Amino acid sequence: MFDVQKVRADFPILKQEVNGKPLVYFDNGATSQTPQQVIDTIVDYYSRYNANIHRGVHTLSQLATDAYEIARTKIQYHFNAKHSYEIILTSGTTESINLVANGFASILQKGDEIIVSALEHHSNIVPWQMLCEHTGAVLKVIPMSMEGELLMEAYDALLSNKTKLVFCNHISNALGTINPIESIIKKAHEVGAAVLIDGAQACPHLKPDVQALNVDFYVASAHKMCGPTGVGMLYGKEEWLRKLPPYKGGGEMIATVSFEKTTYADLPHKFEAGTPNICGGIAFGAAVDYMNHIGFDAIAKQEQELLEYGTQKLQEIEGVTIYGPSDLTKKASVISFNVEGIHPYDIGTIIDKLGIAVRTGHHCAQPIMDFFKIPGTIRASFAFYNTKEEIDIFVEAVKKAKTMLS
């Protein structure tokens, strides 16, 4: 049985007060909180076996190397990658996307086409724009509806034998929309295009199976999954990872170096130049363990109940507009909304004084806000450790802010 109070006890930060009020943390879309089990892993590393990896014969180096590679294997199993070396440990989703974009700079030619969705985070737009500027490739966009869903008939029309790469997020960070990535991947493959899926917002809520999806690249960040900041992963099919050139030069990614020629290390080290975030990688593995211990079925059930309850309560407030799919089975646990006549920043500032953390602004998704002709939204994003009682506090705070600002 899922016991939310028992789960909350794992998160030290949730016990504190902010501005004299109990913390209500509804900014999980930006970063999740970290359980004591993961914090203990970080402390254990720095207290007991802090050393560089893959390079030393001494005991601490071997302990650190083993722990780091065990974490890679945990991540492999979690995402069901075929091989552990298909998991490249990076600084996060943004670096993972840039790694792939950099690799395609040597593959794309002028006139080739790449497709992005209208629901993307800036980190899944800007690197591809830079790639187009460098190669002469053409960027095309899958449009969205007023419901915040992709127009799949338009996607079908965009695909052609010129399409070389398609990329979209699994779940929108700004609206919570769950995109039909299975269909997106299948249709792209039918025209010979590769597919990258940004899973940053999906991985806290569900458990992707990269082999079942048949996706070419899938990226994620640990800090969205109860892990530390500054670490994430790129899954890539072996055939693609062998085809792409190294992203950075330096130590660890080499096989041999001379002033005449350098040869590169095998996967995954080919893409992991320099000393990595060793502790972060190990803690990423611990975070994966923690979330699997909670169970993704339990996580999904709890978060869906919060989404339904929060949506109902906010809709009772006059003047509230919620953006994104009205069918809540097509959304993750995000409510992105505005109050008529009030700037989202003003609401966010007032409810912060009441101890409530939400995100306000464009959420690094300016094209979405431009589509709706709004400056931004108030985004409440829930995690499995949140409660309906917290939603009640949040809704009352929004009502109070509305009264003050009207």
**Residues annotated as catalytic (active site), given as ranges:** 364
Angstrom distance (rounded) from CA 302 to CA 299: 5
Find all residues with CB under 8 Å of 164, minimum gap 6, and list them: 104, 107, 108, 112, 113, 114, 137, 192, 193, 194
Angstrom distance (rounded) from CA 287 to CA 75: 10
Q: Are strands 217-221 and 194-198 parallel, antiparallel or unpaired?
A: parallel
Taking 3-state DSSP, the helix, strand and coil percentages for the chain, each rounded to the nearest 5, stand at 45, 20, 35
DSSP 329-350: GGB-SEEEEEETTS-HHHHHHH
Q: Are strands 262-264 and 254-257 parallel, antiparallel or unpaired?
A: antiparallel
Q: Count the Cβ atoms, other than its own, within 10 Å of residue 273.
A: 18
Angstrom distance (rounded) from CA 373 to CA 394: 26
Find where tokens 């007032």 sit: 350
149 contacts 174 by C-beta, under 8 angstroms: no
Ramachandran angles phi, psi of 176, nearest 5°: 85, 5
Find all residues with CB under 8 Å of 314, minimum gap 6, and list them: 320, 322, 335, 337, 395, 398
Q: Where are the beta strands (DSSP E) in 189-231?
A: 194-198, 217-221
Closest CA to 362 of 175, 110, 156, 218: 175
82 contacts 211 by C-beta, under 8 angstroms: yes
Q: Are strands 359-361 and 356-357 parallel, antiparallel or unpaired?
A: unpaired
